[in-house]
């Protein structure tokens, strides 16, 4: 049990809001539940959540110690009462999650508990598959990342061996990633390979396409094929043969077919005709192809996984 005395600057606040600020890792659902169960007391007695506090009041909290830790990415899962994870596939070793556009894979610079990894960790902890108190160092981790405004399949490893193997297979390019994108215009030719060089400006978080190699530039290769066209838009499938920052977005724009909704590489004049918050790009399919040994994950060899639906495909095609 921990006690807090309400100071002058905190007087007048509601009980639930005071506790929420004092114990930032406590999920809102648990906070309200603990008030009802009188595990949160005001001057030794139960109180309603909207009770206004006075200077000198004593708040007694019968709450587990881990909720009083300083918030950081590693304990963000504690804040999540109801995990939000769209599962494409799950077994004892890995979990494939369909990350929605707008969701961060990890927190970006400042504490953000509503990330994909925090929700996955909360999901596994709440069903008892991951027991943080019994682990010395390992926590479920993401093996690949997708930009905030791009959706698609992200691989999470449930144990250290699976994490090591998947990371190795990604490095060896034994996991194929396929993307869908909606582009302006009709690619000509309708299928082919885009190959050039990308130079990354880390300050601007932008890449520039170069036709010739130069210091700092890296080879970028994307295989594409047009699936269908409708009006001014075309639906294109891309397969990454290299994995560079903003590769598809930059190369497609450079080729003359910018992605719908792409505010960085796309056409503002074209985008203003559509109400899209981000680029129409989705990592919709994964294929596992292991020509080399994959240990405990050998069973994944030859398997393919796809998301159930992609919003911009249903909307425009």
pLDDT for the residue numbered 297: 97
Task: Check pLDDT > 90 for residue 107.
Answer: no
Q: Which tens digit of pLDDT belongs to each residue from 121-179?
A: 999 999 999 998 888 789 999 999 999 999 999 999 999 999 999 999 999 999 999 99
pTM of the prediction? 0.88
Q: Which tens digit of pLDDT belongs to each residue from 175-211?
A: 999 999 999 999 999 999 999 999 998 888 899 999 9
Task: Check pLDDT > 80 for residue 109.
Answer: no
Sheet holding 40-42, edge to edge: 2-5, 58-61, 40-42
d(CA 58, CA 159) in angstroms, rounded, equals 43
Mean pLDDT computed over every residue of the chain: 94
pLDDT for the residue numbered 77: 93
| DSSP states along 237-288 | EEEESS--TTHHHHHHHHTT-PBTT-TTTS-HHHHTTS--SS--EEEEEEEE
The neighbour count for residue 172, using CB atoms within 10 Å, is 11
First vs last C-alpha separation in the chain: 58
pLDDT for the residue numbered 286: 96
Q: Which tens digit of pLDDT belongs to each residue from 15-28?
A: 999 999 999 999 99
Q: Report in angstroms the alpha-carbon separations of 24 from 13, 38, 219.
A: 16, 19, 45
Task: Check pLDDT > 90 for residue 46.
Answer: yes
Total residues found in the chain within this entry: 317
Spell out the domains of the chain, with CATH numbers in brackets: 2-68 (3.10.290.10), 73-171 (3.30.2350.10), 175-316 (3.30.2350.10)
Hey, is 76 helix, strand or coil?
A: helix
Q: Report in angstroms the alpha-carbon separations of 232 from 70, 93, 181, 196, 270.
A: 51, 43, 14, 26, 10
Task: Check pLDDT > 80 for residue 284.
Answer: yes
Q: Which tens digit of pLDDT belongs to each residue from 211-223?
A: 999 898 999 999 9
> How sure is the predictor about 108, in pLDDT bands with cuts at 50, 70 and 90?
confident
pLDDT over 70, % of the chain: 100
Hey, is 32 helix, strand or coil?
A: helix
pLDDT for the residue numbered 113: 85
């Amino acid at each position: 049990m921990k006690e807090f005395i309400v100071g002058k600057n905190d007087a007048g606040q509601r009980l639930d809001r005071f506790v929420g600020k004092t114990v930032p890792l406590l999920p809102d659902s648990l906070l309200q539940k603990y008030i009802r169960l009188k595990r949160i007391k005001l001057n030794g007695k139960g109180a309603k959540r909207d009770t206004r506090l006075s200077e000198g009041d004593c708040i007694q909290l019968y709450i587990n110690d881990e909720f009083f830790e300083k918030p950081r990415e590693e304990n963000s899962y504690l804040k999540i009462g109801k995990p939000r994870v769209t599962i494409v596939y799950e077994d004892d070793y890995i979990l494939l999650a369909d990350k929605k556009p707008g969701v961060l894979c990890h927190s970006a610079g400042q504490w953000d508990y509503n990330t994909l990894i925090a929700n996955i960790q909360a999901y596994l902890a709440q069903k008892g598959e991951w027991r943080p108190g019994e682990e010395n160092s390992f926590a479920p981790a993401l093996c690949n990342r997708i930009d905030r405004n791009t959706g698609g399949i992200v691989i999470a490893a449930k144990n250290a061996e699976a994490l090591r193997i998947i990371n190795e297979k990604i490095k060896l390019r034994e996991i194929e990633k396929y993307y869908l994108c909606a582009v302006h215009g009709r690619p000509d030719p309708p299928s082919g390979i885009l190959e050039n060089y990308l130079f990354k400006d880390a300050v601007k978080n932008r890449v520039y396409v170069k036709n010739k190699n130069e210091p700092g530039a890296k080879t970028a290769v994307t295989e594409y094929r047009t699936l269908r066209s409708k009006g001014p838009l075309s639906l294109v499938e891309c397969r990454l043969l290299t994995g560079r920052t903003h590769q598809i977005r930059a190369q497609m724009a450079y080729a003359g077919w910018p992605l719908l909704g792409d505010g960085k590489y796309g056409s503002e004049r074209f985008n203003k005709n559509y109400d899209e918050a981000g680029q129409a790009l989705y990592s919709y399919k994964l294929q596992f192809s292991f020509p080399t040994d994959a240990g405990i994950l050998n069973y994944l060899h030859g398997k393919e996984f796809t998301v159930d639906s992609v919003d911009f495909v249903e909307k425009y095609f």
